[in-house]
Amino acid sequence: MKPAPLDHAAPTTVGEAVALLNDPEREAVALAGGQSLMPMLNLRLARPDLLVDLTRVEGLDHIRESAGWIEMGAMATKRAVERSSLVRERQPMWHEATLQIGHPQIRNRGTVGGSMAQADPAAEYPAAAVALGAEVRAVGPSGERTIPATEFFLGYLTTALAPGEILTEVRVPVIPPGRGWAFREVCRRHGDFAMAGTAVTVDLDASGRCTATRIALFGVGPVPARAVEAEKIVDGEAPGEEIFERAGRAAAGAIDEPLADVHASADYRRHLAAVLTGRALAQAATRAGRPEGS
């Protein structure tokens, strides 16, 4: 279990990194925190000629608020996010999602951008990003662009990043006062990838009915996706166990190709997704309307 021969470059600017990634002579791969890529390298399941290590690129590890968005540099570690009082207070779902990722020893190196670019279907950040309406900033040879999270995840371990493009920032809207949220997952052991998970936000209108509901499932389908039909079931209704359970079943039922592995069959994942979504909607609705939003 040793990596195949590879070269390593540690650029200090985004421009250099993009240039290295676009070396026509060599197959280059960006290395962020390495917590997913390094096992692949050790197993020789990934064998690039060149690792473009983003660790030393300047300006990629910020965590800040700007105009209603929490902006996190791609190389901000999950541990830094976890410890950020800004994220905890202004985007508590993102904070909660962070705590579900592995263990501190993994979060110490794993990065926000790495998790998004890896696009593991059972990962927490992609689902939170989809539910929260996050955006991804990427820089490539032809400049910078912004991609909505809902358009970023294309398939199993596949994103909208073009070859040679680097994810530089993830921007997540702050949770506005009064919006309820919940982030739940079921794992075999704490810290494992989820067999199913759900990220939910719910607003309550003046009459106490649900509105602007957003539901994103993970660990079930090949990509985290919004459960639009289920959202419609909830919106306009008063919070209630029956409606949330129905929405949960709808959300889970809408997944085309549920994943299956040694831990959970497709049926079971779908079932968990339904249960979790129902529970999460209830939790989010309970939180909705509270001034602290938590």
The stretch among 41-49, 125-133, 210-218, 233-241 that binds another protein (CB under 8 A) is: 41-49
Are 101 and 194 in contact by the 8 Å Cβ rule? The answer is no
Among 15, 27, 43, 155, interactor with another protein by CB under 8 A: 43
- Joined tokens for residue 64: 């800040």
Q: Does 186 bind another protein (CB under 8 A)?
A: yes
The DSSP secondary-structure symbol of 259 reads -
* Start-end of H helices in the chain: 14-21, 37-42, 78-83, 85-90, 92-99, 104-107, 112-118, 124-132, 149-152, 228-234, 241-253, 266-287
**Of residues 53 and 235, the one with the C-beta less far from another protein:** 53
| Token pair of 131 as six digits | 């539910």
Helix and strand counts by DSSP (H, E) for the chain: 12, 14
Q: Strand, coil or helix: what is 231?
A: helix
Q: Using the rule CB under 8 A, is 200 a contact of another protein?
A: no
Minimum distance from residue 147 beta carbon to another protein (Å): 22
Piece of 2-10, 12-20, 131-139, 206-214 that binds another protein (CB under 8 A):
2-10
Which residues within the stretch 89-128 sit at the binding site for another protein (CB under 8 A)?
89-90, 99, 102-106, 108-109
Tell whether residue 75 is a contact of another protein (CB under 8 A). yes
| Residue 65 interacts with another protein (CB under 8 A): yes or no | yes
| Identity at 48, one-letter amino acid code | P
Q: What's 45's DSSP letter?
A: S
Task: List contacts with another protein (CB under 8 A).
Answer: 1-8, 10, 34-35, 38-39, 41-44, 51, 53, 55, 61-66, 73, 75-77, 79-80, 83-86, 89-90, 99, 102-106, 108-109, 186, 188-193, 195, 261-265, 267-268, 271-272, 275
